[in-house]
Amino acid sequence: MNEQQRKESTQVNPSDKKSEKDYSQYFQTVYMPPSLKDAKKRGKEEVKYDGFAIPEQFRGMGQDKKFYIRTYGCQMNEHDTEVMAGIFMALGYEPTNGVEDADVILLNTCAIRENAENKVFGELGHLKTLKKQRPGLLLGVCGCMSQEESVVNRILKVHPFVDMIFGTHNIHRLPHILNEAYMSKEMVVEVWSKEGDVIENLPKQRKGNIKAWVNIMYGCDKFCTYCIVPYTRGKERSRRPEEIVQEVRHLAAQGYKEITLLGQNVNAYGKDFEDMEYGLGDLMEEIHKIDIPRIRFTTSHPRDFDDHLIEVLAKGGNLLDHIHLPVQSGSTDVLKIMARKYSRESYLELVRKIKEAMPNASLTTDIIVGFPNETDEQFEETMSLYREVEFDSAYTFIYSPREGTPAAKMEDNVPMEVKKERLQRLNALVNETSAKKLKEYEGKVVDVLVEGESKNNPEVLAGYTEKSKLVNFRAPKTAIGQIVKVKITKAKTWTLDGEMIEETVEVN
């Protein structure tokens, strides 16, 4: 469908319900399904930078209506939800905390592993009842699963009551998609597979006023052989530094205390700029100067982690020395088949450099066990690498074949019981190492950014250290939103208990 065809006739009142058939002449149903084949292409076309604005004719679309978004997956999705919530609010909708009184429900989905997808299909089953009770309810599926042809086909076939499916590149089109869905009797499917857009000026309804996410780049060009993300998120494209700096400054002025810079592979930041040499190190140097106490970034790919970035991070201050550095496997042979493009040795060398420049740095990681044909010896290499690096913690996964990725075509001789056993052994090591690391905190004083009351006990406050350790302690509620000094009294399995010793706002 081309740009011309995309232009809907929107002179009708968008809040009219789809049951009012008279308006059918004013719209054309959108059917733009995804294509994994197109998503795989990496063209030379330029990144298009565009601005977002609510089209005048859609203002007030959400009057007296409520929206609810359920989010699955990574921080990128969490932040996309904040953007969609921002768009809903700009259209006049109000947020609600549950599906019961929502007029629009969106499932912002994740495709990274099979169990992530199963959760969403299960939820669609539940929502069918709700949709039957309230036919006027709009139900949408967005996020990474929408980018997969097989998912869209399955929804069309098995869950035809869904009103709209839109992709990760179509978020800024939400007002148009909602309008189409109100008007149309058919399912609205708008999933662009191939794009090069960076949309600025997106409204954001952030969760909380202490920590904020800031996208620095979109997409991924790494094509690790097991991973669906390059297909669901498109090619790597960076936001311009001045836009990012302006957003961070604005957040600092609003009183936010912590920023996490987001990208699938933030170390590739700036590689797509044709007019200048500018990387993550340069951006961090710029953001280092902004008066905001804590800056984090995620996720790092070991391959693009350069010396300049290490040098900048070593300046410390608001640049926190907690680095999430997914290794995936400790075996060079497995890493090769995964197409990670680094070896066990080069990963260890990078860790050595980081620790040399930042002796207190804490490292966390992601690991996949049971990659096709992974041998016992290769798995042992992962175990020994883990021991050698002594990660603070890790996310561990059993390999899950993803349709359309090269690894999904590989024959796999590792039985599921073996994979599960390996995961258990690895998890035991992860837990043991984490406990040991937490124990070292006993008696030490740490800076804690206080986020609020503890989930289990409203008398107790909870917050995170610079190294992302959860600390529970008693203190007056005025400490919420502040960075305070806490003496650690006891290390528990996953968290730390402490006593506040003074209330301080950190100054860079």
Residue ranges at the known binding site for [4Fe-4S] cluster: 74, 110, 144, 220, 224, 227
Which member of 14, 34, 241, 326 binds ligand SAH (CB under 6 A)? 326
Shorter beta-carbon distance to ligand SF4: residue 39 or 220: 220
The site partner of 223 among ligand SF4, ligand SAH, ligand F3S, none (C-beta below 5 to 8 Å per kind) is ligand SF4
* Sheet hosting strand 66-71, strand order edge to edge: 31-32, 188-190, 164-166, 138-143, 104-109, 66-71, 94-95
> Distance from first CA to last CA of the chain, Å, rounded?
51
CB closer to ligand F3S, 77 vs 193 = 77
Closest CA to 25 of 6, 5, 8: 8
CA distance 265 to 217: 8
CA distance 404 to 374: 21
What phi-psi label fits residue 77: left (phi over 0), alpha (psi between -120 and 50 degrees) or beta? Answer: alpha
Query: What are the respective helix, strand and coil percentages of the chain, to the nearest 5?
Result: 35, 20, 40
Q: Does 210 bind ligand SF4 (CB under 6 A)?
A: no
Residue 230: contacted member of ligand SAH, ligand F3S, ligand SF4, none (CB under 5 to 8 Å, by partner type) = ligand SF4
Task: Compute φ and ψ for 397, nearest 5 degrees.
Answer: -140, 150
Binding partner of residue 73 among ligand SF4, ligand F3S, ligand SAH, none, CB cut-off 5 to 8 Å per kind: ligand F3S
Using the contact rule CB under 6 A, the part of the chain among 51-59, 224-232, 253-261, 485-493 near ligand SAH is 224-232
Q: How far is the CB of 45 from ligand SF4 (least distance, A)?
A: 21
For 115, other C-beta atoms within 10 Å of its C-beta total 11
- Supply φ then ψ for residue 364, to 5 degrees: -125, 165
Judged by beta carbon, residue 264 or residue 362, the one nearer ligand SF4 is: 264
Say whether residue 260 binds ligand SAH (CB under 6 A): no
Interaction of residue 350 with ligand SAH, rule CB under 6 A: no
400 lies in the binding site for ligand SAH (CB under 6 A): yes
Residue 330 binding result from ligand SAH, ligand SF4, ligand F3S, none, given CB thresholds of 5 to 8 Å by partner type = none
SS3 54: coil
In the window 196-255, what residues touch ligand F3S (CB under 6 A)? 228-229, 232-233
**Of these partners, ligand SF4, ligand F3S, ligand SAH, none, which one is at the site of residue 402 (CB under 5 to 8 Å by kind)?**
ligand SAH
The gap from C-alpha 189 to its chain's centroid, in whole angstroms, comes to 23
Across the beta sheet with 258-262, the strand order is: 211-215, 258-262, 294-298
Q: Which is nearer to ligand F3S, 78 or 333 (CB)?
A: 78
Task: Work out what residue 430 binds among ligand SF4, ligand F3S, ligand SAH, none; the CB cut-off runs from 5 to 8 Å by kind.
Answer: none
What distance in Å separates the CA atoms of residue 457 and residue 310, rounded to the nearest whole number?
Answer: 40
The least CB distance from residue 113 to ligand F3S, in Å, is 8
User: Between the CA of residue 457 and those of 141, 329, 438, 476, what are the distances in Å?
Assistant: 35, 39, 22, 14
222 binds ligand SF4 (CB under 6 A): yes
Q: Which of 402, 422, 467, 469 binds ligand SAH (CB under 6 A)?
A: 402
Residue 392 to residue 383: CA distance in whole angstroms: 14
Interacting residue with ligand SAH among 308, 397, 406, 410 (CB under 6 A): 397
CA 365/CA 392 separation, integer angstroms: 8
What's the min distance (Å) between Cβ of 228 and ligand SF4? 8
Binding residues: 74, 110, 144, 220, 224, 227
CA nearest neighbour of 314 among 277, 288, 349, 345? 288
Residue 159 engages ligand SF4 in binding (rule: CB under 6 A): no
CA distances from 305 to 155, 311, 344 (A): 40, 11, 15
Interaction partner, residue 113 (ligand SAH, ligand F3S, ligand SF4, none; CB < 5-8 Å by kind): ligand SAH
Residue (of 159, 152, 143, 127) closest to 33 by Cα position = 152
- Tokens 């349709």 identify what position? 403
x/- track of binding to ligand SF4 for residues 263-282 (CB under 6 A): -xx-----------------
- CB of residue 69 vs ligand SAH: minimum separation in angstroms? 21
Task: Find the shortest distance in angstroms from Cβ 221 to ligand SF4.
Answer: 8
Question: Does 301 participate in binding ligand SF4 (rule CB under 6 A)?
Answer: yes
Looking at the Cβ atoms of 110 and 449, the one nearer to ligand F3S is 110
Cβ 272 to ligand SF4, closest distance in Å? 15
Q: Residue 421 corresponds to which amino acid?
A: E
DSSP characters for 216-258? -EE------TT--HHHHH-S-EEPPHHHHHHHHHHHHHTT--E
Residues 83 to 142 in contact with ligand SAH, rule: CB under 6 A: 112-113
Q: Which is nearer to ligand F3S, 144 or 162 (CB)?
A: 144
- The answer to whether the Cα torsion of 297, 298, 302, 304 is positive or negative is negative
| Residue 397 interacting with ligand SF4 (CB under 6 A) | no
- Give the residues lining the site for ligand SAH (CB under 6 A): 112-113, 226-227, 229, 264-265, 299, 301, 326, 328, 366, 368, 397, 399-400, 402
Question: Given the rule CB under 6 A, which residues bind ligand SF4?
Answer: 220, 222-224, 227, 229-230, 264-265, 301
